Structure formats: structure tokens, C-alpha cells
């Protein structure tokens, strides 16, 4: 009986160790540009595809090519509106598109998200009495944007039994702030279809 009890204890310990080993997680680095298909929701691959498509389209558009031949227009980017039913970090999409355009060397950007921070710093330099007036940056010296880049991300979701179809559309426009004219516009479409297996997974 004692021998059986010892063996049962040993089996229990081994089972517990195996269970703990199976529950341990493993973290590895992956390729940030690899196609991501964890689920049908908006993901990193979608962000990269949209940013690449929009930047390539805008840079190749003939009026924009002419506009950027002899100077670097000043643009501000409005945060992309999320009109989908998902929680999507559209600021990340906006940042990726802005970075790609800026790195092209064809545009300059004004960061409207930091206007209040800049105003506080200028107020400190000019009114706090703690900065040498000869080195303080004066109010009213900033350069205004000539163009506004903005867009919307929308989606349509349909489900029929075990099949779920998700359609995304990103639309972007470049507006001349002086005239109100749209100088460029394009859209990128993405469709994802998820089918459940007979096991329901």
C-alpha cells in the first residue's frame, strides 16, 4: 500500500510539473512586415498596406509632382476619423503616413497635436521673466500650413453562418487651405473573409 501511495505521489508531481510546463508562455521576436492574420480585425498588415498605398498614390499624382518639384509644401495632418465599429488606433495610421511623406523629402509638416505645448513654452520664454529676451522665440513667427491632409476609415461587416466578411475602406484627401480645392484624393480597400472550420474554430 505504501509503495502504491509513493507511486501515486510521484505520478501526481510529474503531472503537475508537466501541466506547469505546458502553461508557460514563450515570447519571440517576429518580422514586423510579415503578413499578420491572427483574426479578421484591422491589424498591422492593413496599416502598412494603407500607408504605402496612400503615400505612393499621392507622390505619383501629377499635380503633386509639379507642386513638389521646386519647393517643399507645408502640410498639417488631421487625425484620421475612425468610422468603423472597431477600436482602431487611427493616430498610428496617421503617424505612419506622415512619416513616409516626410522621409520622402518632398514635404514639411506642422504638428497640430503640439500647438498647446508650444504655446506654453513660448509664453514661458516671453512672459516668465526667466529667459534672456535676446534668446526668447517671439510669438507670431511660425509658418502657416499650406495644405491639410485628412481622411476616414470605414468598414462594412457581414456574417452568414460560419462565414464573416469584413470590408475596410480608407479615403484620404489633400486640401489647399487657401482655395479650399482638393488637390489629391484616393482610397484603399481591404477585404477579409473568416470561415469557421467544422470544429467551430
Q: In this predicted model, which residue has the larger pLDDT, 160 or 145?
A: 145
**In terms of pTM, does the model score above 0.85?**
no
Architecture of domain 43-194: 3-Layer(aba) Sandwich (3.40)
- Domain extent listing, the chain: 43-194
Q: pLDDT tens, 84-141?
A: 888 888 888 888 889 999 999 999 999 888 888 999 999 999 998 899 989 989 888 8
From 162, 157, 166, 156, select the one nearest 195 (Cα to Cα): 162
**What single string gives the DSSP state of each residue in 119-166?**
HHHHHHHHHSS-S-TTTSPPTT-PPPPSEEEEEEEEEEEEEETTEEEE
Q: pLDDT tens, 125-150?
A: 999 889 998 998 988 888 899 999 99
Amino acid at each position: 500500500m505504501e509503495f502504491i501511495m509513493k507511486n501515486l505521489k510521484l505520478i501526481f508531481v510529474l503531472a503537475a510539473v508537466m501541466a506547469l510546463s505546458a502553461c508557460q508562455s514563450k515570447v519571440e521576436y517576429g518580422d514586423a512586415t510579415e503578413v499578420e492574420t491572427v483574426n479578421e480585425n484591422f491589424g498591422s498588415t492593413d496599416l502598412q498596406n494603407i500607408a504605402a498605398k496612400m503615400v505612393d498614390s499621392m507622390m505619383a499624382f501629377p499635380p503633386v509632382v509639379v507642386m513638389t518639384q521646386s519647393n517643399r509644401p507645408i502640410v498639417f495632418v488631421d487625425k484620421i476619423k475612425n468610422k468603423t465599429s472597431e477600436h482602431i488606433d487611427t493616430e498610428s495610421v496617421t503617424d505612419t503616413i506622415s512619416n513616409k511623406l516626410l522621409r520622402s523629402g518632398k514635404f514639411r509638416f506642422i504638428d497640430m497635436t503640439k500647438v498647446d505645448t508650444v504655446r506654453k513654452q513660448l509664453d514661458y520664454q516671453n512672459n516668465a521673466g526667466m529667459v534672456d529676451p535676446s534668446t526668447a522665440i517671439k510669438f507670431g513667427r511660425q509658418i502657416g500650413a499650406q495644405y491639410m491632409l485628412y481622411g476616414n476609415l470605414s468598414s462594412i461587416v457581414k456574417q452568414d453562418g460560419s462565414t464573416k466578411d469584413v470590408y475596410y475602406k480608407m479615403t484620404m484627401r489633400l486640401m489647399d487651405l487657401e482655395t479650399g480645392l482638393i488637390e489629391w484624393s484616393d482610397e484603399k480597400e481591404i477585404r477579409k473573409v473568416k470561415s469557421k472550420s467544422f470544429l467551430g474554430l
